[in-house]
Amino acid sequence: MARIHLYIIFAMLLILQPLSRADAGVAERNNFLTQVLSLAEKPKAYFILDLGGYKITLMARGVAIREWAITRLQFAGDPLPVKTYLLEKKSIRIDDLRNNIAPDGSVVNNISITPAEENKTGDNKESGDKKVKKYEVIAMEINDMPTSYRLFLNEGITIDIMSQTEGSVSFLKNAFDVFKAYAYYPIREIWNSYHKKAHTEIEIFFKDKTEAQALFWAFTDETECIILPPGTEDREDYQL
Amino acid sequence: MLTKKSLIISSIIFGSLLLVIAIIEGIGYHIINKNKSEWMNINHEKTDLDEKAVKDLQKKNEKLIKQLNKLSPKGIYIIVDTAKNILYLKKDNDIIRKAVIATGSGNVLTEQGGKNRSWTFDTPKGEFAVKYKLKDPKWVKPDWAFLEEGEDVPKKVGDRVEEDVLGEYAMGFGNGYFLHGTLYTRLLGRNVTHGCVRLGDEDLEVVNKASTVGTKIYIF
């Protein structure tokens, strides 16, 4: 008799367990979709940082418009629930990278334009008479963007963006990274939990520095993002 | 003898140091892993939903997906990557044209003298739509175009008009910004404009033909 009871309990457990997992999944999906929809309703681009999938996706109206593949990443501190976060500022201000134009009309770039081209464009009517204007592009371009910087999100979240170091320095850099990962972060972890200080640090490495630069370019202040924690990358609940 | 002794001592010190580092890193590894599992479980909160609540949520989720799908652009739309200076003409999920373009220089021009007006020559980022289309557009030069050249701003509108500089077509997407042609094809691929998006002749023709008033433009 007792054995039958045990069988019944076991059978009930088997039935109930997947159900409760499904419940959790449906609730999580609801939260995820609600967050995504609230961002997609705005006429602004937003980001989804997928820590498990090692990718950052720039989205607009629910459509992916650019993707960055992360080479390596690390995170420490308080785990983040799936919700919308706001980029408050960057460690380097884009306005500090801008050029001011002197209003004297003397220049524009370092690409010289030949007299023939000038005639074609009609830009310089005297070009046929030996006068050749030198053009110089004074502009803020992708190569002027930083390759290492920090993003400050609300709720004390920081994201360090770095590019992988190449050449002779790379060995030292890698050793430093290992030390940072397994010594510095855990010590900080203990320190912060002892002081009950809320903090979340994410480090993102790109192999190609232009990816870090392009992210700096696209990730403007006040941009909103959703951070998906590891473990969500293979789950259908977090797919669009 | 002394050398042997010092060798032993230094070996002990070095060994101890390695051991300490290994212990620290071992503990660190444990803490990091513990932290990782905390991160992985943050959203796995147990829910006590009854069958009806689960069904309700499933319905809500289906509705949310429908709402999301409604928001996403359908048919033809344009994506402008101002970092790479590439324009993608897309139809649903397919890229039907990829064009090298020129976009805003990001430079700042500040008017000297009394007014102290300032312009930042950025291509605006975000979602826009083609508001109107022009054939053989004429450029009505704004104040900054004169100030940048160190010239006086003319009083007559007629003195501002410049022909044959914007290519064969122009598509306005608001606040004086256009997708248009260029005479300076060598500068395509660079950030040289005052905010407009310049295209080469052939690309301009394709984009103009494919787009209509209302075509969405996403700039990042």
Cβ of B71 and A141 within 8 Å?
Answer: no
pLDDT for residue A132: 42
pLDDT for residue A196: 74
Tell me the two tokens of residue A219.
């990730």
Nearest chain B residue to A43 by CA distance is B127
> Alpha helix locations (H) across chain A?
2-40, 115-121, 169-179, 185-194, 209-218
Which residues of chain B are within 8 Å of residue A105 when distances are taken between CB atoms?
148-151
What is the residue whose two structure tokens read 């397919």?
A: B94
For residues B123 and B121, give the distance between their C-alpha atoms in angstroms, rounded to a whole number. 7
Pairing type for strands A224-228 and A46-50 reads: parallel
Cβ of A82 and B49 within 8 Å?
Answer: no
- How large a percentage of chain B has pLDDT more than 70? 92
Cβ neighbours around A77 below 10 Å, total: 22
Residue A233 confidence (pLDDT) above 80: no
Residues 6+ apart with CB under 8 A from A50: A56, A57, A228, A232, A233
pLDDT for residue B175: 94
Residue B219's alpha-carbon distances to A65, B125, B126, B189, in angstroms, are 9, 5, 5, 15
pLDDT tens per residue, range A112-131: 333 334 433 333 333 334 34
Tell me the two tokens of residue A68.
């960055």
For residues A204 and A115, give the distance between their C-alpha atoms in angstroms, rounded to a whole number. 48
Average pLDDT, chain B: 90
Residue A198 confidence (pLDDT) above 90: no
Q: Which of A103, A213, A229 sits opposite B148 (nearest CB)?
A: A103
**What's the mean pLDDT in A202-230?**
94
> DSSP 3-state helix, strand, coil percentages of chain A (rounded to 5)?
40, 25, 35
Which residues of chain B are within 8 Å of residue A27 when distances are taken between CB atoms?
47, 49, 57
Q: Would the CA dihedral through B3, B4, B9, B10 be positive or negative?
A: positive
For residues A37 and A98, give the distance between their C-alpha atoms in angstroms, rounded to a whole number. 34
Amino acid at residue number B7: L
Q: What is the CA radius of gyration of chain B?
A: 30
* Residue A218 C-alpha, separation from nearest chain B C-alpha, in angstroms: 6
Cβ of B183 and A189 within 8 Å?
Answer: no
Cβ of A105 and B150 within 8 Å?
Answer: yes
Cβ neighbours around A153 below 10 Å, total: 21
Q: Which of B148, B192, B218 sits opposite A139 (nearest CB)?
A: B192
Interface test with B, best of A182, A201, A240 (most B CBs within 10 A): A182
In which band, very low, low, confident or very high, does the pLDDT at A231 lie, cut at 50, 70 and 90?
confident
Residue A19 confidence (pLDDT) above 70: no
Cβ of A182 and B125 within 8 Å?
Answer: no
Lowest mean pLDDT among A92-96, A137-141, B27-31, B174-178: B27-31
pLDDT tens per residue, range B74-108: 999 999 999 999 999 999 989 999 999 999 999 99
pTM (predicted TM-score):
0.79
Count residue pairs from A and B with Cβ separation < 8 A: 208
Cβ of A65 and B83 within 8 Å?
Answer: no
- Residue B119 near residue B109, CB atoms below 8 Å: yes
Cβ of B42 and A183 within 8 Å?
Answer: no
B31 sits in which H/E element: helix B2-41
Cβ of B72 and A76 within 8 Å?
Answer: no
ipTM of the complex model: 0.81
For residues A6 and A3, give the distance between their C-alpha atoms in angstroms, rounded to a whole number. 5
- C-alpha neighbours within 13 Å on the C-beta side of residue A174: 8
Q: Which of B24, B57, B192 sits opposite A137 (nearest CB)?
A: B192
- Residue A69 near residue B97, CB atoms below 8 Å: no
- Calculate the CA B64 to chain-centre distance: 26
For residues A66 and A233, give the distance between their C-alpha atoms in angstroms, rounded to a whole number. 18
Nearest chain A residue to B31 by CA distance is A186
Cβ of B61 and A117 within 8 Å?
Answer: no
Cβ of A230 and B40 within 8 Å?
Answer: yes
Residue B6's alpha-carbon distances to A116, B1, B19, B90, in angstroms, are 80, 9, 19, 73
A158 SS3 class: strand
Which residues of chain B are within 8 Å of residue A117 when distances are taken between CB atoms?
186
Residues of chain B with pLDDT under 50: none
Which residues of chain B are within 8 Å of residue A121 when distances are taken between CB atoms?
183-184
DSSP, residue by residue, A35-64? HHHHHHTSSS-EEEEETTTTEEEEEETTEE
For residues A13 and A21, give the distance between their C-alpha atoms in angstroms, rounded to a whole number. 12
Cβ of B108 and A100 within 8 Å?
Answer: yes
Q: Would the CA dihedral through B184, B190, B195, B201 be positive or negative?
A: positive
For residues A97 and B71, give the distance between their C-alpha atoms in angstroms, rounded to a whole number. 35
Residue A110 confidence (pLDDT) above 60: no
Cβ of A36 and B25 within 8 Å?
Answer: no
Which residues of chain A are within 8 Å of residue B64 when distances are taken between CB atoms?
30, 33-34, 37
pLDDT tens per residue, range A27-64: 889 999 999 999 999 999 999 999 999 999 999 999 99
